[in-house]
Amino acid sequence: MVLNKKILNIILFLLFANYGYSQNKRIDSFKALIKTTDSLELKASLHGSVAWYNLARDLNLSQAHLDSSYAILSKIEYPKGLAQLNYRYAVLFRLKGQYKKALNYADKSYAYNLSQKDSFLMANDLFQKGVINSIKGDYKTSLKVYYNILEIYEDMNNPKSIGMTLNSIGIVQKNLEQYNAAIKSYNRAINTLKDTKYKNDLANAYGNLGSVFYLKKEVDSALKYLNVARELDKELDYSWGLSLNSYNIGEILIEQKEYKSSLVYLEEAYEIQKRNNYNTALSETRTALGKVYLKLGNLAKSERFLKEGLTNAPESKKALRELQFNLYDLNKKRGNYRSALSHYETFFAYTDSIRSKENTEYAKDLEAKYQSEKKDKELAKQQLELEKQQLELEKQQSKTRLMTGLSIALLLISVLVWFLYQQRQKQKNQEIITLKREQQVKTLETLMEGEENERLRIAKELHDGVNVDLSTIKYKLTSLLEKNNEVINEAVTMIDKSCEQVRAISHNLIPPALKNFSLIEAIEDYIGTMNTIHEPEISFHHIGDSIQLSKKIEINIFRIVQELVNNSVKHANSNEINVQASHRDDLIQLTIEDDGKGFHKDATTGEGIGLRNIKSRVDYLNAKMDFDTGSKGTSYIIEINTSELN
């Protein structure tokens, strides 16, 4: 749980840091995160990071942060953090010059990393030890350590670490005055680093090479390489390296007695070192500046620098020795012989001490520090980079996977939704169509029913009422007929006619055969009647099976025939009308044909309306109507599928 939170926070701050902030902003972000985070482990780590960042700037601030980190770590169980802290303490105390403490911490860190079998971190610890030993003057041990480390790095194929180690080896060799060996090492370092991005280490190598050449008294080569190093430093904005190389060049130029030019470089070095609190290096530069101003005859300035050097005296005996000597020289020039003598005695004491113990302590101190500090920083940065990259990668991967999954799911869902929607639409449309049709049918049925009912009513009334009365009257009259009364005869004839008409109307309205017998017989009756009444010759044929359907349907068909024949009789002016009904399988085919004059299909007169009526009856039957009209006559063909009836 806590670990997850830590990882989350790391991700957060890495992402935050990923916006390419400069170093300062990064530290600010770290500091902000220290305040806000709940994770103790993360807090401790962040203190460590801030401390690490300040190692090159402000050692006291750095130590403060390391102490904060320790305060947290001592309360929680986080051995890895503790080991890292120990390592940083080692570096801090080394830079401060407290070598015993430094070695102590380095051992602690090494012990943990050994238990974890982390060869990379083990190498780091060893490197620190190597540097410290080298500074202490234990060159043999330190060389051994360095070669150990070099092997580890060569296994890991890490050019940066290889380069750095070679640099360090070179420094030791230089200190042992094995100048050619040193030059070899440095060249190796340069070759390893030349085409990589590790320009800082490359600058170091060049600087180192320059120093060695100087020691070999090959001034031109020395200056050449030192300048190359300096240019790289400038490019990289690497203050530490720049100050050191400028200092070295300054020193060389002093030797060459080019004091004015030397001053330029020394001033540059001094300025940088002062700004960044590089105290150990600063004392050397002060000494050098003191020397130069003395040579140039600017006693005041010379004294100022030398005095500064005294007040800020480092632990290193060599530095102090140099100072003393220069103070002696200054006082000599000034004519303060007493002071001069006292200074010289101090100087001599130092010389002895150094010669016996740490003769080149300072040089190593500087150079080794120069190496290791850079290296430590780089290593840590590297680690951080790796972690960052890893997390980034993982995050990217999972992000991509998630996005792909989501988009596929989304796509599928939207397709499904669209599809379902379409289905629903179709269904709805289907329902609407069905409803409409049902509505239509219902309307038609209602209309037709109404019509039929009306006809039935009239027919009944005529049949039962008027007709009966007329018949009765006729009977009564005929019994009077014996008297041979002409008037009565006429009356009787008239009544007959009325009866006929009434009957005709009644039966015309509701064909009795339809109710009692069959459709075909009804049609036959109707045609027969029409034939008698009207001019044209109307014929009817029935082909195929008999027709037996629901009364509603049969009435409908009858009405169609009635209407069409009526039309033909009234408007077509024909001689012959042919009516035909065939029933085979499920198909009833009605044909009504005349040889009249035809008519316009689009007539909006009574004919048109009559046709519409027929059309709606045809629709009710789900039937097809085909009609044709011309000079030859008119013909209607209606096809009814009995399996498709309502």
Partner 1 sequence: MVLQGIQSMLNGNEAIEIVGIYINAQETLQHIEKDNPDVLLLDINLPDINGITLCKELKSIIEDLKIIAISNFDELSFVKRMLKSGANGYLLKNTDRLELLEAFKTVLSGGTYLRKDLQKKLLGQTASGLKTKNGLITKLTRREHDVLLAISEELTTQEISEKLFISPKTVETHRMNIMSKLGAKNSVGIIKIAIENDLL
Stretch that binds partner 1, among 24-32, 160-168, 395-403, 530-538 (CB under 8 A): 530-538
- 470 lies in the site for partner 1, by CB under 8 A: yes
From residue 351, give the alpha-carbon distance in Å to each of 98, 320, 322, 364, 365.
21, 10, 9, 17, 17
Q: With contacts defined by CB under 8 A, name the span among 31-39, 162-170, 465-473, 564-572 that binds partner 1.
A: 465-473
Helix/strand/coil (H, E, C) string of 177-223?
A: CCHHHHHHHHHHHHHHHCCCCCHHHHHHHHHHHHHHHHHCCCHHHHH
Among 4, 475, 483, 602, binds partner 1 (CB under 8 A): 475
Question: Which of 178, 339, 353, 531 is close enough to bind partner 1 by CB under 8 A?
Answer: 531
| Cβ proximity of 286 and 324 under 8 Å | no
**Nearer CB in complex with partner 1: 219/477:** 477
- Alpha-carbon distance of 378 to 228, in angstroms, equals 21
- Between 28 and 496, name the residue whose CB sits nearer to partner 1: 496
The token pair that represents 598 in the structure block = 């035809």
Residues contacting partner 1: total by CB under 8 A: 53
Establish if 525 lies at the interface with partner 1 (CB under 8 A): yes
Write down the H helix ranges in 335-360. Answer: 337-356
In this complex, which beta carbon is closest to partner 1, that of residue 245 or of residue 635?
A: 635
Site for partner 1 in 565-594 (CB under 8 A): 578, 580, 582, 584, 587, 589, 591, 593
Cβ proximity to partner 1, 412 vs 587, nearer residue:
587
For CA atoms 521, 524, 528, 529, give the dihedral sign. Answer: positive
Distance in Å, CB of 431 to partner 1, minimum: 29
> Counting contacts by CB under 8 A, is residue 602 touching partner 1?
no
**Number of residues that make up the chain:** 646
By the rule CB under 8 A, 496 interacts with partner 1? yes
Q: By three-state DSSP, how is residue 620 classified? A: helix
Task: Select the span of 64-72, 135-143, 223-231, 525-533 touching partner 1 (CB under 8 A).
Answer: 525-533
Does 626 help bind partner 1 (rule: CB under 8 A)?
yes
Distance from C-alpha of 210 to C-alpha of 230, rounded to nearest angstrom: 11
Report the residue from 108, 129, 291, 463 that binds partner 1 according to the rule CB under 8 A: 463
Q: Does 425 bind partner 1 (CB under 8 A)?
A: no
Q: Is 521 in the site for partner 1 (CB under 8 A)?
A: yes
* Interaction of residue 490 with partner 1, rule CB under 8 A: no
Q: Does 472 bind partner 1 (CB under 8 A)?
A: yes
When binding is defined by CB under 8 A, the residue of 471, 485, 548, 550 that contacts partner 1 is 471
Q: Kindly state whether residue 635 participates in binding partner 1, applying the rule CB under 8 A.
A: yes
* 539 lines the binding site for partner 1 (CB under 8 A): yes
- Nearer to partner 1 by C-beta: 109 or 506? 506
| Smallest distance, partner 1 to C-beta of residue 436, A | 25
Three-state secondary structure call for residue 600 = coil
Which of 93, 112, 347, 540 touches partner 1 by CB under 8 A?
540
Cα distances from 442 to residues 99, 438, 446, 448, in angstroms, run: 110, 6, 6, 10
Q: Give me the residues paired with residue 639 across strands.
A: 589, 624
d(CA 452, CA 583): 25
For position 633 contacting partner 1 by CB under 8 A, the verdict is: yes
Which are the contacts of 518, defined by CB distance < 8 A and separation ≥ 6?
A: 546, 547, 548
Nearest distance from C-beta of residue 476 to partner 1, angstroms: 8
**Element housing 609 (H / E):** helix 606-620
Residue 522 in contact with partner 1, rule: CB under 8 A: yes
Applying CB under 8 A, the span of 8-16, 138-146, 154-162, 518-526 interacting with partner 1 comes to 518-526
Residues 442, 448, 450: CA angle, nearest 5 degrees? 100
**Piece of 42-50, 195-203, 263-271, 626-634 that binds partner 1 (CB under 8 A):** 626-634
DSSP state, residue 484: -
524 binds partner 1 (CB under 8 A): yes
- Specify whether the CB–CB gap between 286 and 301 falls below 8 A: no
Do the Cβ atoms of 292 and 262 come closer than 8 Å? yes
* Closer of 217 and 551 to partner 1 (Cβ): 551
Q: Please identify which residue in 484, 532, 604, 643 interacts with partner 1, judged by CB under 8 A.
A: 532
- Between the alpha carbon of residue 27 and those of residues 16, 54, 126, 343, the distances in Å are 12, 10, 28, 45
HSE, CB side, 13 Å, CA atoms: give it for residue 440: 15
Amino acid at 232: L
Is 330 or 623 the residue whose CB approaches partner 1 more closely? Answer: 623
Stretch that binds partner 1, among 32-40, 342-350, 431-439, 476-484 (CB under 8 A): 476-484
Angle at 527 between CA 523 and CA 532, to 5 degrees: 150
Residue ranges binding partner 1 (CB under 8 A): 463, 467-468, 470-472, 474-476, 478-479, 481-482, 492, 495-496, 499, 503, 507, 511-513, 516-517, 521-522, 524-525, 528-529, 531-532, 537, 539-541, 543-544, 578, 580, 582, 584, 587, 589, 591, 593, 626, 628, 632-633, 635, 637, 639
